């Protein structure tokens, strides 16, 4: 196998990494793309995601008064927001730094592939999704916390 073939087989696209993180980040798919299936952090990503999904299912089954769901749903929100931040980081990382980190054989190569508008669009979508999910998570958590405080104050006053 020639050196060029080996380089193309190990090539990691910044644009593809941004979009994989945008679409499958909460499941750790971007980690598997970048670091392989032996990456521990990739295997840990689905745990908070599934806990958050469990919280949503509990709300659907038991209603909004389920206190365990109050704690589990924000876990999903913060996981999604975190992975959107990772997508933004990948998309905005300079091509030279990207190649130095993930494509060391292309480091300093003037003909190394450059990312284009697809990476920028991925960053914009990650920013939209991440900010929306983060604000919704903070609002949900704050609302549930203050409702709990009011309920406890009513119990004390009776």
Q: What pLDDT was estimated at residue 31?
A: 92
Q: Within the chain, how many helices (H) and strands (E) appear?
A: 8, 0
| Mean pLDDT computed over 130-138 | 91
Domain that holds residue 44: 14-157
- Render pLDDT for 15-50 as a digit per residue (tens, 0 to 9): 999 999 999 999 999 999 999 999 899 999 999 999
Contact 46, 25 (CB under 8 A): no
5 within domain boundaries: no
Query: SS in 3 state form for 27-81?
Result: HCHHHHHHHCCCCHHHHHCHHHHHHHHHHHHHHHHHCCCCHHHHHHHHHHHHHHH
Give me the torsion for CA of 61, 63, 65, 70, rounded to 10°: 60
Q: What's the pTM value of the predicted model, to 2 decimals?
A: 0.80
Give the C-alpha separation, 46 to 32, whole Å.
Answer: 12
6 within domain boundaries: no
| Mean pLDDT computed over 51-72 | 85
Q: What is the CA radius of gyration of the chain?
A: 21
Give the C-alpha separation, 74 to 133, whole Å.
Answer: 10
- Reported confidence tier of residue 1, pLDDT bands at 50, 70, 90: very low
3 within domain boundaries: no
2 within domain boundaries: no
Q: What pLDDT was estimated at residue 8?
A: 56
Query: Helices 14-24 and 117-157, interaxial angle, to 10°?
Result: 30
3-state DSSP assignment of residue 115 = coil
- Render pLDDT for 79-128 as a digit per residue (tens, 0 to 9): 999 999 999 999 999 888 888 888 888 776 666 677 888 889 999 999 99
67 within domain boundaries: yes
4 within domain boundaries: no
Give the C-alpha separation, 125 to 24, whole Å.
Answer: 13
Number of domains in the chain: 1
- Reported confidence tier of residue 6, pLDDT bands at 50, 70, 90: very low
7 within domain boundaries: no
8 within domain boundaries: no
């Amino acid at each position: 196998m020639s050196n060029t073939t080996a380089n193309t087989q190990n090539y990691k696209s910044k644009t593809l990494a941004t979009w994989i993180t945008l679409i499958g980040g909460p499941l750790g798919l971007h980690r598997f793309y970048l670091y392989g299936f032996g990456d521990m952090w990739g295997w840990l990503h689905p745990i908070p995601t599934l806990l958050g999904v469990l919280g949503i299912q509990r709300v659907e089954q038991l209603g909004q008064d389920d206190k365990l769901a109050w704690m589990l749903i924000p876990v999903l929100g913060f996981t999604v927001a975190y992975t959107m931040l990772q997508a933004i980081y990948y998309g905005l990382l300079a091509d030279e730094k990207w190649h130095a980190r993930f494509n060391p054989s292309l480091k300093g190569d003037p003909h190394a592939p450059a990312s284009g508008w697809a990476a920028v669009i991925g960053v914009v979508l990650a920013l939209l999704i991440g900010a929306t999910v983060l604000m919704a998570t903070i609002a949900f958590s704050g609302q549930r916390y203050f409702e709990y405080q009011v309920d406890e104050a009513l119990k004390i006053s009776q």
